[in-house]
Amino acid sequence: MRAVALTAPGSPLVVSDAPEPAAPAGGAVIDVLACGICHSDLHAAAGDYPTTLPVILGHEIAGRHPDLGPVLVYACWGCRKPDCWACSSEQEMICPNATEAGLFRDGGYAERMAVPDVGYLVPLGTLDPVHAAPLACGGLTAYRAVDHTLATLAAAKSPRALVIGAGGLGQFGLQWLKMRSDAEITVVDASAQKRALALELGADTVAAPGEVEGTFTCVIDFVGAEPTL
State the CATH number of the domain containing residue 114.
3.90.180.10
- Cβ pair 48, 139 in contact under 8 A: no
Same structural domain for residues 127 and 196? no
User: What Rg, from alpha-carbon coordinates, does the chain have?
Assistant: 19
Going through 23-126 in order, the beta strands assigned E by DSSP cover 28-36, 55-56, 60-65, 69-73, 112-115, 121-123
Name every residue whose Cβ is closer than 8 Å to that of residue 151 and which is 6 or more positions away in sequence. none
Same structural domain for residues 100 and 179? no
Parent domain of 189: 146-221
pTM of the entire predicted model: 0.81
Going through the chain in order, the beta strands assigned E by DSSP cover 2-6, 14-17, 28-36, 55-56, 60-65, 69-73, 112-115, 121-123, 160-164, 184-188, 205-207, 218-221
| 68 in any annotated domain | yes
Q: Residue 156: helix, strand or coil by DSSP?
A: coil
- Kindly report whether the peptide bond that precedes residue 129 is cis, defined as omega within 30 degrees of 0: no
Chain segment 171-209, per-residue pLDDT in tens: 999 999 999 999 999 999 999 999 999 999 999 999 999
CA distances from 92 to 83, 152, 193 (A): 13, 24, 36
Give the pLDDT score at 192.
Answer: 96
Chain segment 94-125, per-residue pLDDT in tens: 888 888 899 889 999 999 999 999 999 999 99
The residue ranking higher by pLDDT, 67 or 93, is 67
Same structural domain for residues 185 and 111? no
Domain count, the chain: 2
Alpha helices (H) in 113-213, listed in sequence order: 129-132, 138-147, 150-155, 168-180, 192-200
Phi–psi pair at 169, nearest 5 degrees: -65, -45
Q: 14: how many CB neighbours lie within 10 A of its CB?
A: 12
| pLDDT above 80 for 228 | no
Same structural domain for residues 37 and 105? yes
Give the pLDDT score at 78.
Answer: 87
Give the pLDDT score at 34.
Answer: 96
| pLDDT above 70 for 229 | no
- Among 105, 136, 167, where does a domain finish? 136
